[in-house]
């Protein structure tokens, strides 16, 4: 006797969507819009969950930072022109040195630097990145990936320069220390230079998937009002990773990465630096402000392009050209 297999009916999209809405009830959300990353902190309501977990919490303490030199580093990148072969990007970095002894800031600006991201150029980036050449060629048409690649390489070169220059105790960056984009041996070389020059790198992330992954940890710290951090599973080979609060009353959680040559007590140093109401270091705010490219910078770069023999033609958005102007105000569409 032959048994006939009964083929399971494929649910329609509407059926799956309707099923998913069953989980909406009693769920708490934050707004999320295209091209906007929202903070997770409104989700961490201490009354939303009963937490009974045993954590090894590093409670933060204020320490004397007068003899410590900290450099805040940030980078911005924007696409400013496009051709049939690729996209032209402008990149600018900033290194802001905070001297706690006299409460002063000194600033070094890198760029703006023009990078024409084309098939001919990406081949030279292959020695930096873990991606295969085919993936690199594909990134020419994906501005999100291309920007990640270019910013990672740009910041890595700034870090290398500052580490080898010496004279600093902590290099403070916005984001994770180790990117999955760069080749691992480059980080090994950087770590060797950190050991040799007694410099530590600390990365502070304002938003990270880890904060959602360790949701109960964040609730625990907030429930007991602890300015502190908890070490999480090892994510990479050159740093240790923590999640927690610099100012638990503000409700804003952070992810912090500390290079493996640096003691976790450096969290106390970051905690003791001048900061905003959320505990985010002022030296990183300064670096972010200085590195941002402005419209007048772009206009100046257009002049540079034309002086080099390139031409710039004005255009309108493709969608507006095809179906009419829809952008702007309350009628903006995504």
Q: What CATH number has the domain bearing residue 209?
A: 3.30.2170
Q: What is the model's pLDDT at position 18?
A: 85
The residue range of the domain holding 104 is: 57-74+92-111+155-294
User: What pLDDT does 113 receive?
Assistant: 93
Contacts of 167 by beta carbon, 8 Å cutoff, 6+ apart: 69
320 contact partners, CB below 8 Å, separation of at least 6: 326, 327
- Residue whose token pair is 């034309």: 306
Whole-angstrom Cα distance, residue 327 to residue 334? 9
Domain count, the chain: 1
Which one, of 3, 178, 153, 146, lies nearest residue 82 by Cα? 146
In this structure, is residue 146 part of a structural domain? no
What tens digit of pLDDT does each residue of 84-130 get?
Answer: 888 999 999 999 999 887 778 899 999 899 999 988 888 888 888 88
Structural domain contains residue 302: no
Q: Is residue 2 part of a domain?
A: no
| 3-class secondary structure, 133 | helix
The reply to whether 121 falls in a domain is: no
- Sheet containing strand 87-99, edge to edge, reads 57-59, 228-231, 239-244, 254-259, 200-205, 170-174, 69-82, 87-99, 104-117
Task: Tell me, yes or no, whether 84 lies in a domain.
Answer: no
Angle made by CA atoms 305, 310, 314, in degrees to the nearest 5: 85
Averaged pLDDT in 10-residue chunks for the chain of 334 residues:
65 85 78 68 62 76 91 94 91 92 87 90 86 81 89 91 86 88 85 85 89 83 88 80 91 90 90 91 95 91 91 78 62 52
Q: Considering the domain boundaries, does residue 214 fall inside one? A: yes
Residue 29 resides in a domain = no
């Amino acid at each position: 006797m032959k048994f006939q297999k009964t083929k399971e009916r494929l649910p329609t999209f509407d059926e799956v969507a309707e099923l998913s809405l069953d989980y909406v009830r009693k769920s708490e959300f934050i707004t999320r819009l295209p091209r906007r990353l929202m903070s997770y902190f409104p989700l961490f309501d201490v009354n939303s969950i009963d937490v009974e977990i045993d954590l090894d919490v590093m409670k933060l303490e204020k320490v004397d930072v007068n003899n410590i030199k900290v450099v805040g580093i940030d980078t911005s990148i924007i696409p400013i022109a496009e051709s049939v072969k690729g996209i032209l990007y402008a990149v600018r970095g900033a290194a802001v040195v905070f001297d706690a002894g006299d409460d002063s800031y000194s600033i070094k600006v890198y760029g703006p630097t023009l990078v024409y991201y084309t098939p001919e150029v990406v081949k030279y980036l292959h020695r930096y990145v873990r991606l295969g050449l085919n993936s690199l060629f594909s990134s020419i048409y994906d501005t999100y990936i291309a920007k990640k690649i270019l910013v990672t390489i740009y910041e890595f070169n700034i870090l290398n320069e500052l580490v080898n220059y010496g004279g600093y105790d902590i290099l403070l960056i916005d984001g994770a220390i180790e990117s999955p984009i760069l080749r691992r041996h480059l980080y090994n070389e950087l770590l060797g230079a950190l050991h040799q020059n007694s410099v530590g790198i600390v990365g502070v992330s304002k938003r990270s998937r880890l904060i959602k992954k360790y949701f109960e940890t964040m609730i625990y710290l907030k429930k007991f009002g602890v300015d502190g951090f908890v070490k999480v599973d090892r994510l990479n080979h050159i740093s240790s990773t923590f999640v927690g609060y610099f100012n638990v009353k503000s409700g804003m959680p952070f992810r912090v990465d500390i290079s493996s040559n640096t003691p976790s007590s450096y969290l106390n140093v970051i905690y003791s630096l001048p900061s905003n109401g959320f505990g985010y270091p002022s030296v990183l705010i300064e670096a972010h402000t200085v590195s941002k490219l402005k419209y007048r910078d772009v206009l100046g770069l257009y002049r540079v392009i034309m002086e080099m023999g390139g031409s710039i033609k004005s255009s309108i958005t493709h969608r507006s050209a095809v179906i009419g102007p829809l952008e702007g105000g309350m009628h903006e569409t995504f």
